[in-house]
Amino acid sequence: MKLSNLMVAMAIAVMLLFLSAASCTNSNRVDSTVASPYYGGYEGLIAEFEEVGSVSDTGADNEVWEDEAFPIRLHMMNKGEYKIPAHDVKMEIKGIAKSDFTGIDFEKDNDDEIEKVSEFLPDGGETYVDFGEAKYQNMEGTFYDANIYTYFEYPYRSYINIPKVCYKENLKDTTVCVVDENKQAFASGGPIQVGTVKERYIGKGKILLEIPIKNVQKGYAKAQEHDDFRPEWDEIYFEMNDMDWECQCRGNHNVARITHPGGVRGNEEVIIVCTNKNLEEGAKFTKAVTLVLSYYYQDWVDQVVRIRENPE
């Protein structure tokens, strides 16, 4: 009899332990039954130099004679989900002195719009930008390595969709949805992405969303066109698509700043906090909300062209 009682007690203890663990992990549970409304991806506009070619079979890929002009041409591809209008990509050649070269434009923009990724354009839109034919003027020694960078700046948007936000006034009701838990969230294709979103109950008729965002590429982001790009931080303009929500980030109601201490970039993120204080009486439903992130993004590509002394 005593052994039987001991076994019952042990079974009850195991059950209580299981229930306790379940309640502790409930806030970390995520409903994974929803499909993303976006194609996704971590890139926006990307660029590649077209190869210059070589003067011989054994030389470097990009190698020309000193009296030979070589093309500087960029292939640009939009791998994200925001269409870039014509003339909105600002490009500038850096790394080489203007006084050393003739035949090239150091500043250009895009003549045509660059389409976003879509069902009929799964790889996104693309365009080519021709900077001209470069010729080096100041040859000394047997060769010169031209380190050519092209910086490009473009306007972009990322959309953060949270498809099942729980609107519930009475938390004692366990049906339909759960407020206090992680929520599934999706970001459209682009360099600014979303982390783990949390929803919390913060008082009668009030719910809150914590939405972390981060820059997942090497480039810089700024909120306004007239702002400067800074290595120490990225700034993103944000707004919610639903007027019942009020959002802020560290006290700012429009701009989120992702800081990078010392200008060294890692996996830093910042949390945008959105509050809804307008739950209707008896509310018990789920609803999708979307946070719109607008920004200007700066990235760059580089290539080395070896210019060789002409053989006599």
What's the sign of the alpha-carbon dihedral 246, 250, 251, 253?
negative
- The pLDDT, as a whole number, for residue 23 is 39
Q: How many CA atoms lie within 13 A of 284 on its CB side?
A: 8
Phi, then psi, of 195 in degrees rounded to 5:
-100, -145
- Report the chain's terminal Cα–Cα distance, integer Å: 107
Characterize the bridge pairing of strands 284-308 and 63-65.
Answer: parallel
pLDDT at position 169 is 87
CA distances from 170 to 35, 75, 201, 275, 283 (A): 28, 56, 10, 17, 8
Token pair 């970390």: residue: 28
Tell me the residue ranges of DSSP E strands in 169-242.
Answer: 181-183, 186-187, 192-194, 197-203, 206-215, 220-222, 233-240
Give CA–CA dist 221/215, Å, rounded: 8
Strand partners, 173: none
Q: Which of 302, 43, 39 is nearest to 154 (CA)?
A: 43
At residue 110, what is the residue type?
Answer: N
pLDDT digits (tens), the chain, 312 positions: 444 454 444 444 434 444 344 333 344 555 557 899 999 999 999 999 998 887 766 566 789 999 999 999 999 999 999 999 999 999 999 999 999 999 999 999 999 999 999 999 999 999 999 999 999 998 888 999 999 999 999 999 999 999 999 999 888 888 999 999 999 999 999 999 999 999 999 998 899 999 999 999 999 999 999 999 999 999 999 999 999 999 999 999 999 999 999 999 889 999 999 999 989 888 999 999 999 999 999 999 999 999 998 876
Whole-number pLDDT of residue 56: 65
Length, in residues, of the chain: 312
Beta strands in 43-117 (DSSP E): 45-49, 63-65, 70-78, 90-94, 101-104, 107-109
CA distances from 68 to 53, 99, 101, 211, 302 (A): 12, 17, 12, 54, 21
Q: Quick one: which of 130, 75, 136, 68 has its CA closest to 102?
A: 136
Q: Are 11 and 3 in contact (CB under 8 A)?
A: no
